[in-house]
Structure 1
Amino acid sequence: MASSMETSVVEAINGLFLLSSAYLVFMMQLGFAMLCAGSVRAKNTMNIMLSNVIDAVVGSLSYYLFGFALAFGSPSNPFIGTKSFALESGSIDYSYFLYQWAFAIAVAGITSGSIAERTQFGAYLVYSFWLTGFVYPVVAHWVWSSDGWLNTAYGGGGGGGPLLGSGAIDFAGSGVVHLVGGVAGLWGSVIEGPRVGRFDAFGGVVPMRGHNATLVVLGTFLLWFGWFGFNPGSFITIMGNVTGVARTALTTTLAGSTAGLVTLFGKRILVGHWDALDVCNGLIGGFVAITSGCAVVDLWASVVCGFVAALVLICLNILALKFQYDDPLEAAQLHGGCGAWGVLFTGLFAKEEFVLQAYGSKGSETRPYGVIMGGGWQLLGSQIIEILVIVAWVSVTMGPLFFLLHKLRMLRISRDEEVAGLDVSHHGGYAYQAHHDDEEPRFYADYVRMQMNSNS
């Protein structure tokens, strides 16, 4: 009787931990919404807020109908879940479903930032459903399903053992979540092209700063708070893992803080002033990078992770402008670039002791760990393969989708609509009604006049 009661208490504590983590991860949607709203121009605020809501609600149904079953419904295949529909997925651990759902809808939120301020609303509906229901779940199955071919489970990989005797360590999803969302956003932004006026006739960069720094900072702190569910929550259970959970929260904090500080001084050198918005993006870049190895690296290594993540983000932003790539929220550079670095970082700095704590032992054999820590090349090789296959998979699934939407004229709004602003041209008015009471009639009249001129 006592043993049964103890078991029930353990299950209750673990269940509460997982549900609480799921709620924290879901709250990151609010962080994304605030960050996106503050990072765009005021005339597009309503549109970007609505797109964030749509990413969540459409993603919920898509993940319920198809996503969870493809990722975790019946893990008996190394490449994809053998069940393809919600009603076929068998018994479900509801807490685990909710946690994984919160991850899935985060992917679509990442992509929406790359194509902000110039995308038709219908395109959000299409890509959110496809990305959340089909593209992301396949990658999640590869890495996180117990029989996925990239999983670290020994005896996994279709029964032939893990890849390179190691499998890929992507504890909370630098690759599975952030790289997937970043690559999807990259293709969307490339196919759409830059915003009107972003670059002048000579290729020079025209500043288009976000309109509300307060919302950006608020969104950043909400994301920081949510990351304590994203990374430590990926232990799934807390009983017996308290030390690992706490250490993971600390590595997450140190990596993000270091990246924010390096970005602060790096941008001060490059642009000549202190920039709060850049620091916020640098901070998030550090969180993205540490997400892969947060549970398996030492504290000092997380500082290294954040330091390099900031440099990666700064360099990619410079290259993006050089090649006239326009991403209003730097989402592809931040989530894609820093996500890829995070996966590589794990292959370099994963510590044997922590790998064993998080993933268990390999019997009498030594489990591969980071190259720099003396663990051989197997883990790093698996990490590189993870990056390559994610980039390839997302490219062949999302690239054609965005191209098809473009050819069907369903992707980008017209030039006149973009100049007028999506709020007034597509959503019936501005987000800040009181501020625009006097201006709206004039702007709306200008928009109507442009439409009449274009029709004539």
Structure 2
Amino acid sequence: MEVSWETSVTDSINAIYLLFSAYLVFMMQLGFAMLCAGSVRAKNAMNIMLTNVVDAVVGSLSYFLFGFAFAFGGGADSNPFIGTQYFALKDIPSSSYDYSFFLYQWAFAIAVAGITSGSIAERTQFSAYLVFSFFLTGFVYPIVAHWVWSSNGWLNPASTSLLFGSGSIDFAGSGVVHLVGGIAGLWGALIEGPRVGRFDAFGKPVQMRGHNMTLVVLGTFLLWFGWFGFNPGSFNKILVSYPDSFDQGNWTAVGRTAVTTTLSGSTAGIVTLFGRRLLVGHWDALDVCNGVLGGFVAITSGCSVVEPWAAIVCGFFAACVLIGLNIIAIKLQYDDPLEAAQLHGGCGAWGLIFTGLFAKEEFVIQTYNSGNIGITRPYGLLLGGGWGLIGAQIVEVVTIMVWVSVTMGPLFYLLHKLRILRISSDEEIAGLDISSHGGYAYNAYSEESGPQRYGDYLRLQDQS
């Protein structure tokens, strides 16, 4: 079949944009690695770097073999709740962008495991990472992605049968990616329990600060950069799944999405900075970094359908959610070294609710019904759009929490019962680097304190 010159150029530009966005999202893995490494103690730095690499390589195989098919597969056995059970790249949405679209979705999938690993850092056996990362990336996350992003998913806002006449708007994954990773991490951290020494005999928290704030800040900026592929790049989902609806209006919205992302993250960062200053009495770089990321997580759902001013509202309340959940976590003696469950889970849930409150009708139609004149559909409740959208958003929040709980909760519990989830107290005190990986990440740290720590570890082993 002869293809016009205009069509060929358009397809080429779309494919380039799709791949470039995939590269940006993949760069977020480097951001996660730097952020996590800087947030843990030096004796666990090598372990956390290794687990971040494992999340990517194991996730690549599981998503290729199973995940992509569950998320976006079609065919006679496909339904609104689960995709095809064939292997990856079978019955993909569009033959024009099959491999490019796969790469983009793969970059999203491996980010989920990185979120979860932060919650159980510094006390988890390496073998457990291999198991939960494979299962999360290959099955748990793809099912949620199918619900929301597949063209026939039951929560999809552009499917033929819309939930509450609206469908759930989760444009880039506040729920699909971040809430899934956050709830999975919550169960892992709850089942493992706090790190040794995190709370004293009276239940009071003992501060365990990360060893390198430079890496934390570097990781934050790398994640910020990658988020421009995560959010504006998510117009690729519409491009591939609904190519006929992608017109000039969508391209105009790409820039607006980048702006709303920036404003939400910036607002959350500054509110968290001042809020924590009032609570603890000093300025902390870690607080502003986590606040920025919380704002990004929250706006990820509605970044394409809200005004810039609404993004500022989103970031303000995302900071409040993060600060509040961290206070509750301390009171409940819940230990999450990266604040991953609070940040990704809490702010992700808020982002979905925020979209149901502030989505603008014009932008909703532009994003999901472009080119169709006269279409009306539910939009933000506070803007007069009725209860349809906010109802669908709440359903997504609840459904994701239940789904991840009934899949990842039992998995972590099984690993715990098999004694392959948490390391021993002796190993934890010595540090995962020396007890599991043969040496420390830093030569200076190893030369100064490594022999003593390793000798203590060996003596404890002999005594046991």
Retained in 2: the 8 A contact 1:263–1:278? yes
Cα pair 1:178 1:288 within 8 Å, conserved: yes
Q: Distance in 2 between matches of 1:364 and 1:426?
A: 63
Q: How does 1:173-188 map to 2 (within 5 A)?
A: 173-188=173-188
Q: 1:363 Cα deviation (Å)?
A: 6.1
Per-residue deviation, residues 81-106 of structure 1 (Å, max 9, x unmatched): 02342375566701100000000000
> Residue 443 of structure 1: CA displacement?
1.5
Cα-to-partner distance string for 1:361-410 (whole Å, 9 max, x where unaligned): 67644111100111110000000000000000000000000000000000
CA distance in 1, matches of 2:91, 2:443: 46
Show the counterpart of 2:106: 101
1:341 equivalent in alignment to 2:343: no
1:112 match: 117
Query: SS in structure 1 opposite 2:4?
Result: helix
Cα distance in 1 for partners of 2:291, 2:211 equals 19
Partners of 1:357 and 1:102 in 2: CA distance: 26
Contact 1:259 1:282 in 2 (8 A): yes
Alignment pair present for 1:253 and 2:262: yes
Give TM-score scaled by structure 2 length.
0.94
User: What letter matches 2:12 in structure 1?
Assistant: A
Map of 2:242 onto structure 1: none
The match for 1:378 is 388
Q: In the TM superposition, what whole-angstrom CA distance separates every residue of 1:242-284 from its partner, at most 9, and x where no partner exists?
A: 3100000000000000000000100000000000001100000
Aligned match of 1:273: 282
State which drifts further: 89-98 or 175-184. Answer: 89-98
Secondary structure (helix, strand or coil) at the match of 1:203 reads coil
1:107 and 1:230 mapped to 2: Cα distance? 13
What's 2:157 paired with?
Answer: 152
Say whether the 8 Å CA contact 1:286–1:310 is kept in structure 2: yes
SS of residue matched to 1:439: helix
Identity of matched residues, %: 76
Partner residue in 2 for 1:391: 401
Three-state SS of the structure 2 residue aligned to 1:265 is helix
Write the letter of the residue equivalent to 1:347: G
Alignment counterpart, residue 450 of structure 2, candidates 435, 440, 445: 440
Question: Which is worse superposed, 204-213 or 92-101?
Answer: 92-101
**Structure 1 residue aligned with 2:148:** 143
Q: Which of the residues 127, 130, 147 maps onto 1:122? A: 127
Q: Residue 293 of structure 2 aligns with which residue?
A: 284
Q: Which amino acid aligns with 2:84?
A: T
**What whole-Å deviation, never above 9, does each CA across 1:141-172 have from its counterpart, x for those lacking one?**
000000000011241xxxxx111111000000
SS in structure 1 of the partner of residue 448 of structure 2? coil
Does residue 402 in structure 1 map to residue 412 in structure 2? yes
Specify the code of the residue in structure 2 equivalent to 1:170: D
Distance 2:31 2:247 in 1: 29
User: In 2 relative to 1, CA 207–43 (structure 1 residues): closer, same or farther, beyond 3 Å?
Assistant: same
- How many aligned positions are there? 449
| Per-residue CA distance 1:12-67 (angstroms, 9 max, x = gap) | 11111010000000000000000000000000000000000000000000000000
Give yes or no for contact 1:10–1:239 (8 Å, CA) kept in 2. Answer: no
Query: Which residue identity is paired with 1:113?
Result: G
The answer as to whether partners of 1:258 and 1:306 remain within 8 angstroms in 2 is: yes
The answer on whether the counterparts of 2:439 and 2:446 sit within 8 Å (CA) in structure 1 is: no
**Matches of 1:204 and 1:245, distance apart in 2:** 47
Tell me the CA shift for residue 437 of structure 1: 1.4
Give structure 1 stretches of 5+ with no counterpart.
156-160
Residue correspondence of structure 1 range 183-198 to structure 2 within 5 A: 183-198=183-198
Inter-partner Cα distance in structure 2 for 1:336 and 1:438? 39
SS, match of residue 372 in structure 1: helix
Verify: 1:223 aligned to 2:223, yes or no. yes
What is the aligned partner in structure 2 of residue 167 from structure 1?
167
Query: 1:6, CA displacement in angstroms?
Result: 1.0
How far apart, CA to CA, are the structure 1 residues paired with 2:390 and 2:346? 17
Partner residue, 1:65: 65
Tell me if structure 1 keeps the 8 A contact 2:89–2:98.
Answer: no
Report the counterpart of residue 12 of structure 2 in structure 1.
12
CA shift for structure 1 position 436? 2.3
SS in 2 for 1:205: coil
Structure 1 residues 437 and 298: alpha-carbon distance in aligned structure 2, compared to 1, 3 A threshold: same
In the TM superposition, what is the alpha-carbon distance from 1:438 to its structure 2 partner?
Answer: 3.3
Q: Take 1:398 and 1:435, find their aligned partners in 2: how far apart are those partners?
A: 36
Q: Does the aligned pair in 1 maintain the 2:43–2:433 contact within 8 Å?
A: yes
What amino acid sits opposite 1:59 in the alignment? G
2-side partners of 1:204 and 1:275: how far apart?
21
CA distance in 2, matches of 1:145, 1:73: 8
Deviation of 1:440 after TM superposition, in Å, equals 1.7
**Is 1:426 equivalent to 2:436 in the alignment?**
yes
**d(CA) in 2 for partners of 1:154, 1:327:** 38
Alignment CA distance shift 1:87-1:264 (3 Å): closer
Tell me if structure 1 keeps the 8 A contact 2:365–2:376: no
Give the distance between the partners of 2:197 and 2:334, measured in 1 at CA: 13
Which range moves more in the overlay, 355-364 or 110-119? 355-364
- 1:350-365 matches, within 5 Å, as 350-360=359-369, 364-365=374-375
Gap change, CA 1:122 and 1:214, over 3 Å in 2: same
Rounded Cα–Cα distance in structure 1 between residues aligned with 2:451 and 2:278: 43
1:83 and 1:89 in contact (8 A); partners too: no
Q: Deviations over 1:180-226 (max 9, x none)?
A: 00000000000000000000010101000111000000000000000
Runs (5+) with no aligned partner, structure 2 = 240-245
Aligned to 2:329: 320
Match of 1:416 in 2: 426
Q: What SS class does the counterpart of residue 17 from structure 1 fall into?
A: helix
CA distance in 2: counterparts of 1:423 and 1:439, whole angstroms: 13
- CA deviation digits over 1:328-373, x for unaligned, max 9? 0000000000000000000000001111111016764411110011
Mark the CA change 1:97 to 1:87 in structure 2 (over 3 Å): closer, same or farther. closer
1:209 aligns to what SS in structure 2? coil
